[in-house]
Amino acid sequence: MKVAIPVSSKIDNPTMFNRFGRAKYFCIIETEDETAVFLDNPAVDARGGAGLRAVEFLVENGVQSVIVPQLGPNADRALRAANVSIFQGEQLPVKDLISKLKNEDLRKI
């Protein structure tokens, strides 16, 4: 499963960024083998609708789940409409969040 987590840097094991649509990057992790790639968020500088544009971008890249600190209502609706699972995360390193996801320690929202 491909999981997206908003992050602000491309360092190894970055901490989740506190805003979904305004994150500089998304760390996309394939949970089968825990490989990670970083994608630049094309919506980071959008004047409006950053969350919606970020959702479109992630769906285009095959993301099936997201781990987020919070979501605006438009991004929330768009993710649900695209059948993307949403999990509540906290500002932890990406590897810790994936571990929590695999152990079913994240709340699905």
* Tens-digit pLDDT string for the chain (109 aa): 999 999 999 999 999 999 999 999 999 999 999 899 999 999 999 888 999 999 999 999 999 999 999 999 999 999 999 999 999 999 999 999 999 999 999 999 9
Compute the mean pLDDT over every residue in the chain, rounded to the nearest whole number.
95
Domain span at residue 10 reads 1-40+47-66+79-84
- Token reading at 64: 């099936």
Asked, for residue 93, whether it belongs to a domain, the answer is no
Number of domains, the chain: 1
**Model pLDDT, residue 48:** 86
Q: How far apart are CA 55 and CA 99, in angstroms?
A: 23
Closest CA to 77 of 106, 36, 49, 98: 49
Those residues whose C-beta lies under 8 Å from the C-beta of residue 27, and which sit 6 or more positions away, are 4, 5, 7, 14, 36, 37, 38, 94
Q: State the CATH number of the domain containing residue 25.
A: 3.30.420.130
